[in-house]
């Protein structure tokens, strides 16, 4: 299992734009990585977005071994993981991202499947 160490700037910018366009509801998706680099976001059909929640329809996820975790936005100014976020992290994937207002390169955090903060480097690719 390859360690996830980077996210592409294009992928991060897609996450920022998706969060902005969904605001004030939460945006949610799955993260896809190859060779340790997160480069895609997969949007699941039927995902429900609200002002304080996003509900994944994980049974709609494709059989894809490149899926490594989740991403979602917080319409607030906090990218700290809630207890509900950590419960999701424990159930699905190894790396998770939360982006908060103002949805910039300075307003996101990544986490492990156990809910610990995790560093990802941004690369141009």
Query: What mean pLDDT do residues 55-77 have?
Result: 83
Bond preceding residue 33 cis, omega within 30 of 0: no
pTM of the predicted model as reported, rounded to 2 decimal places: 0.90
Average pLDDT in the chain: 90
Sign of CA dihedral 44, 73, 98, 13: positive
> Is 26 labeled as catalytic in the residue annotation?
yes
Q: Which CATH class is domain 6-118?
A: alpha beta
Mean of pLDDT values over 98-116: 97
Q: Active site residue: 17, 26, 87, 117, which one?
A: 26
The residues, any chain, with a CB within 8 Å of residue 62's CB and separated by 6 or more, are 42
For residue 21, the model assigns a pLDDT of 93
The whole-number pLDDT of residue 123 equals 97
Rg (CA), the chain: 13
- In this predicted model, what pLDDT tens digit does every residue of 16-49 receive, in sequence order? 999 999 999 899 999 999 999 999 999 876 566 6
């Amino acid at each position: 299992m390859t360690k996830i160490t980077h996210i592409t700037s294009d992928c991060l910018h897609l996450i920022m734009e998706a969060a902005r366009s969904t605001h004030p509801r939460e945006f949610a998706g799955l993260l896809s990585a190859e060779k340790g680099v997160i480069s895609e976001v997969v949007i699941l059909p039927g995902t429900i977005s609200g002002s304080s929640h996003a509900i994944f329809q994980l049974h709609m996820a494709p059989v894809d071994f490149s899926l490594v975790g989740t991403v979602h936005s917080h319409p607030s100014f906090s990218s700290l993981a809630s207890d509900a976020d950590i419960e999701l992290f424990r159930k699905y994937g190894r790396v998770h991202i939360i982006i908060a207002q103002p949805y910039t390169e300075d307003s996101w955090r990544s986490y492990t499947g156990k809910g610990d903060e995790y560093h990802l480097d941004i690369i141009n690719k």
